[in-house]
Amino acid sequence: MQNITDLEESFNSLQELSDSQFRTIASLKKELALLKEENKALKSNPVSSTSNSSDIVNFDISNERLICETQITILKDRAITRELLLEEAKKFQIFVDILDNIKKNTPNASKVRVEKLSTEELLALVEGGDSGIQ
């Protein structure tokens, strides 16, 4: 009788160990799938950290705005393929707030005045002459 009880206890402890290992393997498989997906996304959106400043095109926007818009685009692309992590969602909100603040505090320097010109006035502008339009 003692042998059967010992065998049963041994079987139960081995069963618990097996279940624990199965749960660990399942968890690691999920993590591996997420990492593969993230790796694939990173490979499809290469960002060169070794680029020279001469490679960057000069836009008439501030560095802060460029960084915010770039990071928002990266997070948007990630959100399309998978749900954002909490940290990524927080970063997204921070970048949106900063961009909103930048847009509110940036004066509209480029106000363009549009008016209809006659053919003669357009020709005068092209030739460098003054057509009386300001």
pTM above 0.75, yes or no: no
Q: Give the mean pLDDT of the chain.
A: 82
| Domain extent for 22 | 1-44
How far is Cα 21 from Cα 27, in angstroms, rounded to an integer? Answer: 10
Q: Does 81 lie in the same domain as 38?
A: no
How far is Cα 33 from Cα 82, in angstroms, rounded to an integer? Answer: 12
Q: Does 127 lie in the same domain as 87?
A: yes
Q: Does 57 lie in the same domain as 37?
A: no
Vertex 38, ends 35 and 93: CA angle to 5°? 120
Q: Does 56 lie in the same domain as 95?
A: yes
CA distances to 12, 13, 14, 22, 74 from 18, rounded to whole Å, are 10, 9, 6, 6, 41
Q: Does 70 lie in the same domain as 112?
A: yes
Q: Does 109 lie in the same domain as 66?
A: yes
User: What's the domain count of the chain?
Assistant: 2
* DSSP character at residue 60: S
Q: Does 65 lie in the same domain as 37?
A: no
Q: Whose CA is closest to 37, among 92, 72, 79, 88?
A: 79
What pLDDT is attached to residue 23?
Answer: 94
pLDDT digits (tens, 9 = 90+) for 63-80: 888 899 999 999 999 999
Q: Does 58 lie in the same domain as 29?
A: no
Residue 112 has pLDDT above 60, yes or no: no
